[in-house]
Every structure is written in C-alpha cells, then in structure tokens.
C-alpha cells in the first residue's frame, strides 16, 4: 500500500528536509518504522526510549487521530496520508 | 450616545448604538447574519487576549475594529526591533515601550468607543483565574508550553472557550478549545515536549505574514463565537502550510480520560506549569550546569593575548551570513558526522546565537572525548553586548 507521510516543518530538519515521504506500508506503525529507519535522527523525536509514540506528537491517518483508531496497528490503504502533528507553541513571549 | 472608555455609559440591557456607531459598523449592520442584534452582542462581549505579539497584533486590531466592547490584553514584554517584522500593531517609535501601552494606544486609535484593559504582568497560576473570570472568551497567542497549559486549564475550570493559535516558521495551527462538549488542549496533547526537543520561535524563526494569517483566523473564530453564527472551529484542528499554501483539517476529540476536562477529572485547580513542562528555572539559565563556560569578555582577553583557541560556530549557514566571529562553521545537526574536522588536542570554544545550541554541542563533544572545550556564555548576542557592538543582534 503506497502511503504518504507528511512531515511537519519542525521535524523536517531530521528527515532530510523532506515535506512528504512515501512508503509501501500495511499499517501506520509499519510506515513510521520505515520512516525512522530511513531517517534515524527522527526516532527520538517520535518515540520515547521504550518505543512508545511521544505524547506531544499526534499521528493522524487522513483526518483521524490513530489513538481513536487502532493506534499503530491501524491498517492503511493505497493513497492514505499519515500526518505527524507535534505541538508547537509559537506566539508572543509572555 | 458615545460610550466613554472604561465605563459603560448605559446599563448593558439598555445598550443601543449611537448614530456614529451605526455609521462605523454599517458594513456589519447591513448583513443579516450580524445586523443590529449581532453588533450589540459584539458591543457587550468581553474578550481577553493572552499576548500582544505576532498573533495578538491582527487579533487586537480586528476585534477592536469590529467593536468588541471590552478587550483585555495581557503581556509584560517590551517592543524591540525584532518584533517589527510581524507585530504590526507597533511602529518603530514604539521600540523600548511596554507592548501593552503601545497596543492600547493603537487599539484605542482604531476604535475609541471600546474599553481596553491592559495587564502588564506575567500570566501565572495565581492570577489567571481572577483575570479570566471577567471575560467571556480567552484568545491564546503565547509562545511557550507552560502558558499554553495554564490558559487551557484555567479556561476549562472557568468553563470559557479558548481560541487557540500557534505558529512555527511557515506553519500554523488553529482551533477552538473547550467549546461546550468539545476537546481541550490536553485532549490533543496530554503532555508538553521536554525542553530542548522542539525549537522555539526565537530559534526557529517565523515568516512575518504567518502570525498575521493565524491571528486573523483567531479573530474570525472569536467574532463567530460572539455572534453565534456559522460553524465554530471546535473539534477540528486547522493546519495551515504557508509554503504549500494549503489548509488541512484534522478531527479532534474530547478525551473521556482527560485529566482536566474528562469524565473523571483529576485536576481541580491550577498547578505549577513550569514544573509540569520540566523547565523550572531553566528558562532564565539557558546554559545547564556542568558545562564549562567562557564569557565573551574572557574570550576576548584570551584572543588578544594570542592564545590558540579554535572557535566552533554551531549555527546554521544562513545565520553565519548574518554575522560571525570567524569561527569554523559546523551546524549542530551535522556535528556527529563532521566531528573528525575537530582537533581534540586544541582548546575549542563553541558558540551559537544565544548559548543554548552550543551547550548541546559541548555536551556532545564531551561525550565524544573532548576535554578542552568551552561554551561561549550568551553566544554571539552576548559578544555583541559585551565586546563588539558592531556585530548585529538578530
């Protein structure tokens, strides 16, 4: 299944400056494993030391949060988009 | 009858629009979705803006222009030159003035018929509830995680909608949190990133127009909430990518086990948000303890003595083009694979813009076996302040 991964601005520096990457993956977790396999520096930004997705990084399959689907086991189909959405805090210094 | 700033001239129930106000708001009044009724809702509305920076600039201007009856602004910062690239409420003449003072003047100039209350203070767990209580809607335009969580929790505890906007470089996020039945910020992000893992706006930069767009979206949502028209951006996270010029929408859900807005909340009062975000004290002491440091003055003295020091600049190439100290450039991210360019037998002074990235570089090099290595305290900014004012600050 060819799926597209959207890399947010804040993490592009760890992903070869790419905005999107495509992989053949059967599940969301599979796609993320391939992503962090290709770009090792991304790993610590996406996963905790014990291998869980960090709580300030949300993963969406199309427009749905995978926490409300089958998490990393969520199956993907051709043409799906996986988005990595980390929290950003930019605004006024207060 | 004109409304005198600071005191409602007539009791709210009898509020009508003066002839002058009818003229001012005529483009609202001729739309049936707003009309006289909607304009009076705006006149009675009380909105608190957290932050008078990049997001607060268009937000404040549009809310004032739209006739929001009472605008509160919280900020403790002073206008500086680096603000002018995006904070369009301020003019060059405002540099050095408190932001809220400059903002109040500007907003009162846009609309002298509204009440503007300014709070020159840092928003804290001890003042947030009292401040928020007087307002209907809170609009969050801050730049740090502790304040984001503080604003969220205070809004949930007081049951007020939180119009959220956040930006980074070319990318923005916007939503309305804690709209009745909807999710809050903690439902989206239960925990903040550990300090240092996500670059701040000051480090990462931001294209000036971006806060203009995101702040305008926040203004639009605020006005829709007041008028009760359209579909509020609740339960939806709007992502804006300025480079691709694309808007995308993701679904947000209320988390039933959310510690603050869930079915069985465990947070019933405001907590210590600096501690929650793991940055207690660190914000003001950017260089962590245990890292050997050299001050710009000390470095200058040693260079003048002719000491053999290797200056390692760990900033990015585009920063080097702004200004440099004739150092050897290896961006922090490239250091692991370019470490062989460094000679561990020489004394090395690492620097960046403010001293934070170079502290990470020093830590990394220490682990790699380098012993004679120092971090330039305060970075090139401190060098400009203490040694050579001709080096531009950015």
For residue A13, give the CATH number of its domain: 3.10.20.30
Nearest to B37 by CA among B249, B226, B237: B226
**Do B231 and B120 reside in the same domain of the chain?**
yes
Nearest Cβ partner for A94 among B76, B167, B193: B76
B199 pLDDT higher than 60 = no
**Do B264 and B297 reside in the same domain of the chain?**
no
Q: Note whether B55 contacts A68, CB cutoff 8 Å.
A: no
Q: Would residue A31 count as lying in a domain?
A: yes
**Bigger pLDDT: B154 vs A40:** B154
**Do B370 and B311 reside in the same domain of the chain?**
yes
Q: Strands B309-313 and B46-50, how do they pair?
A: unpaired
Average pLDDT, chain B: 90
User: Of B260, B283, B306, which closes a domain?
Assistant: B283
**Do B82 and B177 reside in the same domain of the chain?**
yes
Q: Would residue A93 count as lying in a domain?
A: no
**Do B259 and B325 reside in the same domain of the chain?**
no
A48 min Cα distance to partner chain B (Å): 11
User: Of B217, B248, B283, which closes a domain?
Assistant: B283
Q: Would residue B32 count as lying in a domain?
A: no
Nearest Cβ partner for B53 among A83, A89, A91: A91
CB contact set of B228 (below 8 Å; sequence gap of 6+): B41
With CA atoms as reference, the chain B residue closest to A11 would be B198
Tell me whether A19 touches chain B (CB under 8 Å).
yes
With CA atoms as reference, the chain B residue closest to A41 would be B333
Sites in chain A below the pLDDT cut of 50: 94
Q: Would residue A91 count as lying in a domain?
A: no
Q: Would residue B329 count as lying in a domain?
A: yes
**Do B170 and B140 reside in the same domain of the chain?**
yes
**Do B267 and B295 reside in the same domain of the chain?**
no
Q: Which of B155, B258, B277, B352 is catalytic?
A: B352
B36 pLDDT higher than 70 = yes
**Bigger pLDDT: B169 vs B101:** B101
Tell me whether A56 touches chain B (CB under 8 Å).
yes
B165 pLDDT higher than 70 = yes
Q: Would residue B159 count as lying in a domain?
A: yes
ipTM of predicted assembly, 2 dp: 0.86
Nearest to B202 by CA among B319, B342, B39, B30: B319
Q: Would residue A29 count as lying in a domain?
A: yes
Q: What is the CATH number of the domain that holds B374?
A: 3.40.250.10
Give the pLDDT of residue B198: 61
A91 interaction partners in chain B (CB closer than 8 Å)? 51, 53-56, 140-143, 165-167, 201, 211
Q: How many domains does chain A have?
A: 1
Residue indicated by tokens 């220490």: B366
**Bigger pLDDT: B84 vs B1:** B84
Q: Tell how far CA B72 is from the center of its chain.
A: 17
B6 pLDDT higher than 90 = no
Q: Note whether B77 contacts A8, CB cutoff 8 Å.
A: no
Nearest to B107 by CA among B35, B194, B49, B32: B49
A24 min Cα distance to partner chain B (Å): 23
A40 interaction partners in chain B (CB closer than 8 Å)? none
**Do B202 and B94 reside in the same domain of the chain?**
yes
Tell me how crowded residue A48 is: count the other CB atoms within 10 A of its CB: 10
Give the pLDDT of residue B194: 75
**For residues B74 and B138, is the Cβ–Cβ distance under 8 A?**
no
Q: What is the pLDDT of residues B73-127, one digit of tens each?
A: 999 999 999 999 999 999 999 999 999 999 999 999 999 999 999 999 999 999 9
Cross-strand bridge partners of residue B311: B349
pLDDT category of residue B144 using cuts at 50, 70 and 90:
confident
Nearest Cβ partner for A9 among B140, B169, B191: B169
Tell me how crowded residue B211 is: count the other CB atoms within 10 A of its CB: 30
**Do B327 and B277 reside in the same domain of the chain?**
no
**For residues A12 and A19, is the Cβ–Cβ distance under 8 A?**
yes
Domain hosting B315: range is 289-386
With CA atoms as reference, the chain A residue closest to B197 would be A45
Q: What is the pLDDT of residues B202-252, one digit of tens each?
A: 567 889 999 999 999 999 999 999 999 999 999 999 999 998 899 999 999
Nearest to B235 by CA among B320, B178, B171, B279: B178
**Do B159 and B129 reside in the same domain of the chain?**
yes
Give the pLDDT of residue B282: 39
**Do B200 and B57 reside in the same domain of the chain?**
yes
Distance separating the N- and C-terminal Cα atoms of chain A: 46
User: Of B250, B283, B316, which closes a domain?
Assistant: B283
Q: Which of B155, B184, B201, B261 is catalytic?
A: B201
Q: What is the CATH number of the domain that holds B166?
A: 3.40.50.720
Tell me how crowded residue B118 is: count the other CB atoms within 10 A of its CB: 19
Q: What is the pLDDT of residues B326-339, one digit of tens each?
A: 999 999 988 988 98
Q: What is the pLDDT of residues B212-221, one digit of tens each?
A: 999 999 999 9
Q: Would residue B301 count as lying in a domain?
A: yes
CB contact set of B275 (below 8 Å; sequence gap of 6+): none
Domain hosting A54: range is 2-86
| Mean pLDDT on B158-163 | 98
With CA atoms as reference, the chain B residue closest to A16 would be B333
Q: How many domains does chain B have?
A: 2
B352 in active site: yes
Q: Would residue A72 count as lying in a domain?
A: yes
Give the pLDDT of residue A94: 45
**Do B218 and B167 reside in the same domain of the chain?**
yes
**Helices B379-386, B296-304: inter-axial angle, 10-degree rounding:** 70
Q: What is the pLDDT of residues B17-30, one digit of tens each?
A: 999 999 999 999 99
A36 min Cα distance to partner chain B (Å): 16
Give the pLDDT of residue B280: 52
A48 interaction partners in chain B (CB closer than 8 Å)? none
B13 pLDDT higher than 90 = no
Q: What is the pLDDT of residues B291-322, one digit of tens each?
A: 899 999 999 999 998 889 999 999 999 999 99
Cross-strand bridge partners of residue B74: B50, B119
Nearest Cβ partner for B168 among A60, A83, A90: A90
């Amino acid at each position: 299944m060819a799926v597209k991964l959207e890399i947010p601005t804040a993490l592009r520096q760890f992903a070869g400056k790419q905005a999107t990457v495509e992989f053949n993956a059967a599940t969301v977790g599979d796609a993320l494993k391939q992503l962090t396999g290709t770009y090792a520096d991304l790993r610590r930004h996406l996963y905790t030391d014990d291998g869980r997705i960090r709580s300030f990084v949300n993963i969406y399959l199309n427009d749905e949060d995978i926490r409300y689907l089958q998490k990393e086991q969520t199956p993907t189909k051709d043409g799906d988009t996986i988005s990595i959405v980390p929290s950003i805090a930019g605004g006024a210094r207060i | 009858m004109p409304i005198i700033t600071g005191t409602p001239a007539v009791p709210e129930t009898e509020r009508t629009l003066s002839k002058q106000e009818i003229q001012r708001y005529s483009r609202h009044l001729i739309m049936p979705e707003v009309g006289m009724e909607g304009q009076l809702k705006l006149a009675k509305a009380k909105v608190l803006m957290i932050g008078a920076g990049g997001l607060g600039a268009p937000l404040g201007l549009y809310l004032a222009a739209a006739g929001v009856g009472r605008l509160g602004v919280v900020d403790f910062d002073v206008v500086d030159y680096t603000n002018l690239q995006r904070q369009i409420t301020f003019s060059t003449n405002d540099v050095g003035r408190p932001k809220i003072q400059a903002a109040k003047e500007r907003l009162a100039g846009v609309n002298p018929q509204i009440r503007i209350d300014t709070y020159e203070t840092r928003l804290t767990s001890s003042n947030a509830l009292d401040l928020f209580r007087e307002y209907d809607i809170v609009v969050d335009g801050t730049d740090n995680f502790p304040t984001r969580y503080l604003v969220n929790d205070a809004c949930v505890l007081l049951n007020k909608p939180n119009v959220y906007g956040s930006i980074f470089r070319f990318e923005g996020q916007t939503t309305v949190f804690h709209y009745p039945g909807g999710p809050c910020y903690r439902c989206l992000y239960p925990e903040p990133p550990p300090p240092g893992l996500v670059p701040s706006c000051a480090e990462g930069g931001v294209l000036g127009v971006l806060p203009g767009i995101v702040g305008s979206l926040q203004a639009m949502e605020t006005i829709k909430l007041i008028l009760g028209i359209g579909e509020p951006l609740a339960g939806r996270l709007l992502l804006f990518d300025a480079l691709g010029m694309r808007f995308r929408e993701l679904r947000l859900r209320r988390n039933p086990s959310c510690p603050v807005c869930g079915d069985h909340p465990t947070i019933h009062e405001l907590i210590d948000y600096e501690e929650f975000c793991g940055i207690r004290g660190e914000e003001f002491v950017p260089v962590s303890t245990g890292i050997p440091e050299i001050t710009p003055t000390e470095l200058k003295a040693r260079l003048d003595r002719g000491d053999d020091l290797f200056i390692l600049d760990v900033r990015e190439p585009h920063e080097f083009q702004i200004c440099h100290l004739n150092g050897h450039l290896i961006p922090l991210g490239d250091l692991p694979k370019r470490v062989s360019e460094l000679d561990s037998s020489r004394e090395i002074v690492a620097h960046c813009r403010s001293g934070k990235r170079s502290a990470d570089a020093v830590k990394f090099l220490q682990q790699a076996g380098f012993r004679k290595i120092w971090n330039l305290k305060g970075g090139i900014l401190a060098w400009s302040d203490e040694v050579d004012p001709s080096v531009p600050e950015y």
